[in-house]
Structure 1
């Protein structure tokens, strides 16, 4: 990243460090502005991704799952992170809440987003069959939304989808994941409370990180967006 681009990026992210992450309206305003800027300036976004293999700290935070990759582009001292998520074709997750509030911008692809309400009395003893969708919508390129950590939701991708996410500081040690098929629910913990084996299992290898970056580059996600005016 050039010095000028670095200065621009620093100016772009500075408002997020002083946010009240429980004020969803303020989070939405500040995070949406940053995500809009990065979506419009794909050169800076490309620089952030391309530098990952040379940044040992950020590379160690990147995660790989069977049908989902998470790239951490920024790890702020105040606790928030900028991430790029790649949902592969067939991706779906179980209804769950989060340990943090986040804002998401859809860059490519789409997914069905289902909200079930807030996590009041939401524990590993929840009656999973009683979870009822309260809103179902399709998130498409250009869409942005902010979700409070108390919301229960799930996502189903349609083809490959790439999203840019501002993830706020963690406010919980754990969150609940449910499986509507089996009726089970369980606690899932953040990195600070994971076993070394669990952390190692999801840590992205350097080879996979390089392959993922090459695939993003080839997909055209770093190309300048079309002018819709």
Structure 2
């Protein structure tokens, strides 16, 4: 699948209708994950100054933006978890679909951010998850930007993500143990480091990641 085909596949998708999003992603993500296609997308990203500059390490995992269409809001990202990684409960700025290419993570779902926690300044109460599943290689899911979830990934987990237009200027992270809520904006809007270990990735790290992905058979 080419970028033009990806754009066409989502041209008439209503991102407020998650069934439409999931159906389109269920066709696009496996096609995009073909090692030859994914390798070409990665190489295109490394040559594109804006895309390469978007690569970052965040909360012990790495995010690589393979495609970013400002006109439609459509984004394609690759996530790599190099170590045991626990993501605290959080929502997102945009709805998205994800396909696990390798490894797995435990996925806990809590509820909509406004329904469960109320206002932004309210403390993060110890809400228990309402749904837990194991996301293994080959499985996919689609989640609304308002929905709060947390993940615990094993080392070597890799996922491919199709993200829609941003519906929120910021998202919230909930430290349920401490009762603390943190509000975060997107990396391109932030002027300071917002989370421990957060940093941009340089060309040498991009090349190293490509070599490892190729060794694992995920890129050609």
C-alpha deviations, 1:20-63, integer Å up to 9, x for none? 11111111111221102123x32111111123221111101111
- TM-score, structure 2 as length reference: 0.89
Aligned partner of 2:19 in structure 1 is 25
Counterpart residue number, 1:148? 144
Name whichever of 115-124 and 102-111 sits farther off: 115-124
- Tell me the TM-score normalized by structure 1: 0.86
- Following superposition, the deviation at residue 66 of structure 1 comes to 5.4
Q: In the TM superposition, what are the counterparts of 1:117-196 in structure 2 within 5 Å?
A: 117-121=111-115, 122=117, 123-191=119-187, 193-195=189-191
The answer as to 2:196 corresponding to 1:198 is no
Q: Which has the higher helix share?
A: 1
Computed over aligned residues only, the root mean square deviation of the Cα atoms, in angstroms, reads 1.9
Match of 2:75 among 76, 81, 86: 81
| Correspondence for 1:100 | 94
Counterpart of 2:47 in structure 1 is 54
Of 104, 109, 114, the match for 1:115: 109
In the alignment, is the contact (CA less than 8 A) between 2:126 and 2:177 conserved in 1?
A: no
Q: Could you tell me which of 29, 37, 49 is aligned with 1:35?
A: 29
Whether the aligned pair in 2 keeps the contact of 1:9 and 1:44 (CA below 8 Å) is no
How many residue pairs are counted as aligned between the two chains?
214
